[in-house]
Amino acid sequence: MTTEANKKNHKDWWHHSVVYQVYPRSFYDSNGDGIGDIHGITMKLDYLRKLGADIICPIYDSPNYDNGYDIRDYTKIMTEFGTMDDFDLLLKEMKKRQLKLVMDLVVNHTSDEHPWFIESKKSKDNPYRNFYHWQSGKDGQPPNKWRACFGGSCWTYDIITGEYYLHTFTEKQPDLNWENPLVREEVYKIMRYWLDKGVDGFRMDVINFISKAPGYPEGKPTDDPQYTDGTPYFINGPHVHEHLQEMNEKVLRHYNVVTVGECPGARLHDAELFSAPERNEVNMIFTFEHMDLDGGKWTPKLLDLRALKRFFTSWQKGLYKKGWNSLYWNNHDQPRIVSRWGNDSDQYRVLSAKMLGTCLHFLCGTPYIYQGEEIGMTNVRFPTLADYRDIETTNFHRDAIAQGLSTEELMSAIYAKSRDNARTPIQWSGQLPHGGFSTGAVNVTPWINVNPNYTDINVEQALNDPQSIFYYYQKLVELRRQMPIIVNGKYDILHEENTHIFMYKRYNDEGQELIIACNFSSESIKIDDPQLLQRLNNHKRVLINNYEHDKKSDWLDFRPYEAWALEIS
């Protein structure tokens, strides 16, 4: 067995992996209906293998009110994505290529079209009633004033039984009652079903929402008197760790798989509780703390790089030998990082995309590449709201209009932060009219429009350019696999208060040391540190540098968006 194969079959194989997140609906349309599908993923496996990463993808059966995160049947494939035979072929072809498949597990809530909920609504004494959170109202109003994550109330009234059901997202996504042991057993059956098929783990959607505070206490006041903030009572609830430990005992420990918990609102202390190996919960979590550094969801502000450095330094040091970090800039819920914290102009898009990749991929943890990140896909600026598909975006528009925001103000916020920025189809080529996304006829319209810049930014162009972002990312992936210090080394921040340069070192007890530096600005920046400069000038080798084929005489004289990584000793 090769060294690479050994790593992939080791108990902690995910320490050495780089994960590629696929959003199937927007990945590749193999049958010409305008919607990406499972066979489309299978057709592009050699592309993913070339990059060198693993895969994540949500493909359950869903009415698709929230783009696949409202599950109708946990053991079926969404019809528009294909069939179970398509899935089995995908899994088989991935195994051939030594790729791992990690699936979405969405079990905080189901679709309101799930059979459990349909039964639950029929009567108060239905056996499935307690699968969900049902409560009587108060004086003709909901049980409390909690605001849902996508806006509006967390409660919806059901006229049949005269009670309200809880949904922390949309009314089409009722929350499961995890205090009911029958619910937990049903979830474990679902997990075993997929694991026995051969999947390699789960990304657990909003898993820290599964435990609610008893009695549903009233939340804290918000800027809207109609609603309160209920997150202290439905995020990181009183039994979340017990539930995950039971899940591990009954299911996960019997398989060599990886688990990553999506945990909005989680801080470092929470991450240690969730991911410490001896606690037997999940292997790592997605935190959103760094995603909140440039303002609220719809109130963007400029990033203070020092705050980002403090975040990474805290998590790198705080979880070292205690838990494990998930490293990401993008996912299906976040805007494109090159538009967000880089510079998507023609002049600097490629440089800044490479810089951002450098900054992330030398950190300790498992890096995630979101589809299109590896070619520098950008945010989109659709001309009208009618072009957007995201329920969160349309709900924001509704609420913003009610609050008196101008069209210019709300569209500016949507351009910066809408989830649809990440959901436009992969730009496979410059081919008209949809950038090679669909095999369909010219008159087939994708479920969401392709970013118009596909003629300049696309996979075909990237693969034909040896200096492209794709090949730069490929090198980052390969360096992580070649150098144990990137996986296991210690971390220290350098020049922490510099407002433009993110510089850090990775080192180990054997004397090996790497220094990584990234200029997050379009300015030329010079750092005055003669002692460090002498060490840099005596470096052992240049690992990577986004100003290619360029010999530097002063490693602390940074050009716009410059990034490099040096091995010092």
- Residues with a catalytic annotation lie at 205, 262
Residue 327 · residue 417 · CB < 8 Å:
no
> Is it true that the peptide bond before 433 is cis, omega within 30 degrees of 0?
yes
Nearest to 61 by CA among 76, 50, 49, 47: 76
In order of 133, 212, 530, the CA distances from 144 in angstroms are 13, 13, 61
Strand partners, 505: 492, 515
SS3 55: strand
Nearest to 470 by CA among 478, 459, 481: 459
Q: Which residues, 6 or more positions from 451, have their beta carbon under 8 angstroms from its beta carbon?
A: 377, 378, 380, 424, 427, 435, 457
Radius of gyration of the chain (CA): 24
Residue in this structure with the two tokens 């060294």, named with its chain if needed:
3
- Spatial separation of the C-alpha atoms in residues 381 and 253, rounded to whole Å: 46
SS3 14: helix
3-state SS track over 511-534: CCEEEEEEECCCCCEECCCHHHHH
Residue 354 · residue 472 · CB < 8 Å:
yes
- CB count within 10 Å of CB 510 equals 10
Q: Are strands 295-296 and 299-300 parallel, antiparallel or unpaired?
A: antiparallel
Q: Which residues, 6 or more positions from 466, have their beta carbon under 8 angstroms from its beta carbon?
A: none
**For residue 497, which phi and psi values (nearest 5 degrees)?**
-90, 0
- Spatial separation of the C-alpha atoms in residues 413 and 99, rounded to whole Å: 38
Task: Please give the full DSSP string across 266-331, using - where no structure is assigned.
Answer: --HHHHHHHH-GGG-S-SEEE--TGGGTTEETTEE----HHHHHHHHHHHHHHSTTTS-BEEES--
- Spatial separation of the C-alpha atoms in residues 144 and 169, rounded to whole Å: 15
**Interior/surface letters 25-39, b for 16+ CB within 10 angstroms, e for the rest:** bbbbbbeeebbbbbb
Sign of CA dihedral 521, 345, 339, 298: positive
In order of 20, 67, 260, 447, 569, the CA distances from 61 in angstroms are 22, 11, 21, 17, 53
- Spatial separation of the C-alpha atoms in residues 343 and 561, rounded to whole Å: 9
